[in-house]
Amino acid sequence: MIAAIDKIKVEEYEFLLEYKNEREGLPYVLWVFKNGEPLMQHHQPDQINMNFPANFSRAFLVDVCHRFVSNEQLNACPA
């Protein structure tokens, strides 16, 4: 069973948290979208996602999302 259980928006990024009960130990998956499109891994055909254990707070999840966006913005800046 897969169920979307939370959605967090940070600027043009959207994070969708899904519950996948078949994943032992890491039942939650956070998918990343940018401007409504799946954000793909660099030079890979896979969408960026992060796995989470059963015990985490929403505050932790929001912090992860904000840190991800900050890192993306830092990496996009020309040196």
**By C-alpha distance, which of 51, 54, 22, 49 is closest to 33?**
49
- 26 or 18, which is more confident? 18
Confidence of residue 1 (pLDDT cuts 50, 70, 90): low
Is residue 2 pLDDT above 60, yes or no? Answer: yes
Q: Per-residue pLDDT tens for 22-66?
A: 656 788 999 999 999 999 988 889 999 999 888 889 999 999 999
What is the domain partition of the chain in residue ranges?
2-76
Task: Give the integer Cα–Cα distance in Å for 27 and 53.
Answer: 6
Is residue 3 pLDDT above 60, yes or no? Answer: yes
User: What is the per-residue pLDDT for 23?
Assistant: 58
- pTM, two decimals, is 0.86
Task: Give the integer Cα–Cα distance in Å for 4 and 29.
Answer: 9
